[in-house]
Amino acid sequence: MNPRILFPNRYPALASLNRMLRGAKYKDAKFFILLDENTYNNCIPLLISRMPVLEQSEFMEVPVGEEAKSIEIASQLWGALLESGADRNSVIINLGGGNVSDIGGFVASAFKRGIRYINVPTSLVGMIDAAIGGKTAVNFEGMKNQIGFFHQPDAICIEPDFLDTLPGEELTCGICEMLKTFAIANPEMYAILSNQIATGNVALSDEFIKECVMIKEGVVKQDPEEKGLRKILNLGHTFGHAIESYSNIPHGKAVALGMWCSFYLSVNKLGLDKKVLEDYGRLLPSLVKPVRYNLKDTETILQLMRQDKKNADGLILCVLLQEIGVPVIDVAIDENEIRDTLLALSKL
């Protein structure tokens, strides 16, 4: 099933979702709104003002950030659903960023062998990436997204008005993910966004957001369970997830660092124009503070990368680029190349 994606066109996206939930398909549904403290404080008024159908919904709150993505939190949410009489007609509305949509989708995937859920992303990362694609997961043993399901939402509601509630760092994380998306699929927009970052004047247009959504939706439709093409969306993530876990850097910024690592390896292994790496290296300090890793640090990061779920047959695999817009999946990199890359990153 391909989810319905709602954009603000003639009507606000939330108003369109309200009409959808008043339809016959949801006549017997009981709604549960999953949120964290940030979205409870900042986003509920907008949601309810445009979606009166949800006025009688029950709230379920999770911790802010990656702490929400655990088996323990999932267990608590399953218990809350049971206590509230949730059945297979129930619907979870995930109101929040990527962590909320991940844990909410995971809980929906397993409860009574799968109930419906709808993603209402409130962060830029959520709107252009995390809320799309049906990947649901929790972290395990200190590693990202190790346990999960593919379970598509009924709908994804993209309402840019929620971006007004975000702090600057969260917007920057979304810009990093946006740049990644354009790097794999739209060289023209990659150049435009890169220039805006360089000049310190990023315009988060609805056009940028919609293009990112369409790129990811198109890839997911062709490869819903990440057997091949969908792997291109992991550009920067093999290094990025390990850096995120080790250095406690927000996901989007860790991906930005991971992209530099992928570009660096792409120059050496696939002949990517070195100017692409140099230009990106000049942008990077505008997105994330430089990191400084010594040999001991690289060994710990390497150990985390060995556990990456995208690896196969004992090989660490990366997405690299032949050029902007031409990604190559499943490129094996050896451990000395990883050490060299991380030490080179530390010299920026």
Instruction: State the Cα–Cα distance between residues 224 and 151, nearest whole angstrom.
Output: 10
Question: Is 275 marked active-site?
Answer: no
Does residue 94 sit in helix, strand or coil? strand
* Lookup: tokens for 258: 């991971």
Question: Is 188 marked active-site?
Answer: no
Question: Is 50 marked active-site?
Answer: no
Catalytic: which of 116, 135, 151, 231? Answer: 135
Catalytic: which of 66, 211, 226, 244? Answer: 226
In DSSP terms, 318 is beta-bridged to: 331
Catalytic: which of 50, 144, 241, 253? Answer: 241
Instruction: State the Cα–Cα distance between residues 123 and 118, nearest whole angstrom.
Output: 15
Question: Is 226 marked active-site?
Answer: yes
Question: Is 151 marked active-site?
Answer: no
Catalytic: which of 230, 231, 244, 253? Answer: 230
Catalytic: which of 69, 116, 144, 237? Answer: 237
Question: Is 141 marked active-site?
Answer: no
Instruction: State the Cα–Cα distance between residues 114 and 304, nearest whole angstrom.
Output: 31
Catalytic: which of 10, 27, 113, 275? Answer: 113
Integer CA distances (angstroms), 113 to 78, 106, 150, 303, 321, in order: 12, 11, 13, 35, 39
Instruction: State the Cα–Cα distance between residues 126 and 190, nearest whole angstrom.
Output: 19
Catalytic: which of 216, 231, 244, 253? Answer: 216
Question: Is 211 marked active-site?
Answer: no
Catalytic: which of 170, 177, 211, 244? Answer: 177
In DSSP terms, 117 is beta-bridged to: 92
Catalytic: which of 116, 151, 180, 251? Answer: 251
CB 179 within 8 A of CB 324: no
* Lookup: tokens for 339: 């050490």
Question: Is 339 marked active-site?
Answer: no
Instruction: State the Cα–Cα distance between residues 76 and 210, nearest whole angstrom.
Output: 35
Question: Is 37 marked active-site?
Answer: no
Q: Which residues are catalytic?
A: 113, 135, 177, 216, 226, 230, 234, 237, 241, 251
